[in-house]
Structure formats: C-alpha cells, structure tokens
Structure 1
Amino acid sequence: MPEYQLYCFAQSGNAYRAALMLNLIGADWKPVYVDFFKGGETRTPKYRSEVNEMGEVPVLCHGDRKLTQSGVILTYLSDLTGKFKPNTEDERLEALRWIIFDNQKLNGFLGPYRFLKNFARPAGDPAVMAFLKARIDGNLAILDKRLAGRSFVLGERPTIADLSLCAYLYYPADEFGFDISGTHKNIGAWLERIKALPGWKHPYELMPGYPPQLA
C-alpha cells in the first residue's frame, strides 16, 4: 500500500494543493476518489463520521494520522520532508500570512465563483457573481504586485505559500470566463515557473474525476 492516501477529486483546487505537493516531493501516494457531485459523498453521514467531520476534501492519511485542511497538510508535509519549507521563523510567518490570505481572499473567492459558474444548479445569481468577481480582481492584483521582481512569493525559491496560492489558477480559463495569466503577467510567469518543477501535473491529470459526473 502507498505511504500516503489522499481523498480528493479533480475539480477541487483545495485538494490540488495537497496532491501537487505530494507529487512534487516524490511521495509514494495514491488518490482516493471522492464522488462530490453525483454521489454527494462528502455530505453523507458515513463520510463525516469516518473520513472528515467537516465534510470536505482534501484528507491526507499517513499511517495513523488523518489530516484535513490544505494548509495543515502542506505544513505537515514540508515539516516532515524539509521540502518547500520556509527556512526561518520570519519566512514561516510570512508563508502563513500568504496561505491565510489565499484561503480567505484569493482562492477563497475564486473557488466559489468557479463552482457557481460551472457546477451549481441553478448557476450563481449575477449579483453574487459580480460581487465575487470584483474581489477576485482586487486580490489577483495584490498577488501580481507581490510577484513583481521576484520568482516566488517569498523570494527566489518556491515554498508551501506558492503551492497554496496556485491552487485554482491552473484550471482552464473558460471555467472562469477570464484569463488570469493573460491579464496578470507576473502571475502568468510565476505559474510557468511552478509548472517547470519536476513532478508538476495539471489537476485534471493528477486527481480522478474528470470530466465530472454531475447529478
């Protein structure tokens, strides 16, 4: 049996953070497919009692440990392997700052926007979509400015902050209705640098469930 098992599905940017980290560090791992759409697996009592009480992916199983929340998983794997780990206490706090910004502000808005546009039935209300889009634009501009003059979020080497922030940004532009890399040149160049790392794979290659089976 592989050393790590990751509960995930292809459309989840949150799960992609963990899957990408596992692949980039060369871990012995396998995905465990979660039928989020048609089966509603994360909403079942069985899933919430046996896998994750929060009803979410990703869930990382490693020996007797069962870890949830992508920021926790990234931190755990970097501490365990020393890879993509912030080097100093100042870097650790700075990485945490960007991971929180990402979860609350960047992918925290981008994920729901994409879900409402592509997968929700009915689709998102136009006023809600406009509200989310305005915040997405502002937060992408913050990240783009941060990446001006540096290769990665903390400097010249990638850390878990980068692997968190890129979570939804590799999904196809037509799933958003706008081209993030084309509009934000620093983000586009940064995504190419991450893509060049050995072990990088697109979320639809790395995790099962594409195309989705919608209910």
Structure 2
Amino acid sequence: MADFRLHCFGESGNAYKAALMLELCRLPWEPVAVDFFKGETRGPEYRAQVNEMGEAPVLEHQGRKLTQSGVILDYLAEITRKFGAKSDDERREIWRWILFDNHKFTASLASLRFLIRFARSGETPVTDFLRGRAVSALKIADLHLAERPFIIGKRPTIADLSMAGYLFYGEELAVPLDPHVNVMKWLDRIQALPGWKHPYELMPRVWAG
C-alpha cells in the first residue's frame, strides 16, 4: 500500500488540487475511487468511516485523515517543504488566495460546471448568477497575474494549485478561458512544471452519464 491514499474521483477539481500536489512532489500515493455521482460521499458508511462532512477529497497518511483541499495542500507543503511559504507574509498571501479561491473562484466555476454538465439543468437564473460571479473572479485573477508569473510572485505555491484546480477541465467548463490572456499563460506555466498531469490521468473517472 502506498504511503498516501487519496479518496477522490477524476471529475473533482478539488480532488485534483491534492492529486496534482502529490504528483508534483513525487510522493508515493494511490487514488481510492469515490463514486460521488451515485451518492457514496453522502452515505452513512462514508460519513462514519471516511469523512463526516460527506465530501471528497480525503487524504490518508500515517493514521491521519485530512479533508478540505486547502488543508491537504497546506499539510503536504509542510511535510515536503515544497510549494509552501518562505515567510509569514507569504503564508498569509497564500491563504488569502486560497480563501478567495474557495469562496469566489472555485465555488462559482465548480458549481456552474456541475449544474450544466452533470445535473444538466440548462441555463437558469442560477447559472446566470454563477457565470457572472465566475467571470468576475477570472478578471480579478487575470489582472493580478498581469504583473507576476504565479499567484504570489516568481514561484508556484499551493495557492496556484488551489486556484488552477478546475481550470484544466477545458471544454467542460461553462465559461471560456480564452479572453483571460494572463490566466491562460499562467496555466501554461503550471502545465510546464515537471510531473504535471491532467486530472483524468491522475484519478479514476466515475461519471457514467
């Protein structure tokens, strides 16, 4: 058994954040497929044995079970000393962007993708709202990245891995990325990191629709 086990599924950008970090750090890990679309995460067994919050990803390591992608990224950065902060100011800046990602960036992009692609809701006032919110967040990131190659400066950190989690799903996103030139260049820089892989190369797909 690998040292690290990640409960995940290929369609989850939040799980991809953790999977990509594991891969970039060349850690010995294995994916544990979670059938989210058939309700596995919401079942009593999963909540009792894996994650009481009923969510993925979950990282198992040395008897620990870590949940929430930002916490997992922070943990891996701490134990590997890679992609983490080098000062208190950097730590605060990293968490500033991870929180922005969780509340505005990923929150809007992931919810919109889920409704359009998986729930097949069609266009509704809710999707209109989420699309507007996602575009606004992309514009903020694009302006920020006009002045630096990565989120906090010259080197990639877990803030980049968090922010980019859903952006490598390409056409599955219900928001075009092409208008955001600096975001596209930033994604190219992340994709050029040694060990980078697409989410569907790292984790099992479970969607059968």
TM-score (normalizing by structure 2)? 0.97
Q: Partner of 2:189 in structure 1?
A: 193
Amino acid at match of 2:191: K
**Aligned equivalents of 1:179 and 1:138: distance in 2?**
13
Q: Which residue in 2 is equivalent to 1:72?
A: 71
SS at match of 1:205: helix
The one of 166, 169, 177 equivalent to 1:168 is: 166
Q: Number of matched residues?
A: 209
User: Which amino acid letter does the alignment assign opposite residue 162 of structure 1?
Assistant: D
Aligned equivalents of 1:199 and 1:123: distance in 2? 36
Distance in 2 separating the partners of 1:21 and 1:124 = 34
Matched, 1:96 2:91: no
For residue 154 of structure 1, the aligned residue among 145, 152, 155 is: 152
Deviation at 1:125, TM superposition (A): 5.3
**Residues 17-28 of structure 1 mapped to structure 2, 5 A cutoff:** 17-28=17-28
Aligned structure 1 segments of 4 or more residues deviating by more than 4 angstroms: none
Partner deviation per Cα, 1:30-72 (whole Å, 9 max, x = no partner): 00000111x3110110000000000000000001100000000
What TM-score does the superposition give when structure 1 sets the normalisation length? 0.95
Asked if the contact 2:3/2:28 (under 8 Å) is kept, the reply is yes
How far the C-alpha of 1:16 sits from its partner, in A, is 0.5
Distance 1:191 1:89 in 2: 26
Give the deviation of 1:204 after TM superposition: 1.1
Identity %: 55
Please give the alpha-carbon distance, in whole angstroms, between the structure 1 residues aligned to 2:148 and 2:18. Answer: 24
For residues 19 and 203 of structure 1, the distance between their equivalents in structure 2, rounded to whole angstroms, comes to: 8
Residue 205 of structure 1 aligns to which amino acid in structure 2?
E
**Which residue is equivalent to 1:126?**
124
Alignment of 1:38-53 (within 5 A): 39-53=38-52
Query: 1-side partners of 2:107 and 2:53: how far apart?
Result: 17
RMSD of aligned residue pairs (Cα, Å)? 1.1
Amino acid at match of 1:123: S
1:176 CA drift (Å): 2.4
AA matched with 2:36: F
Paired residues of 2:85 and 2:91 also in contact (CA < 8 A): yes
* C-alpha distance in 2 between matches for 1:194 and 1:45: 38
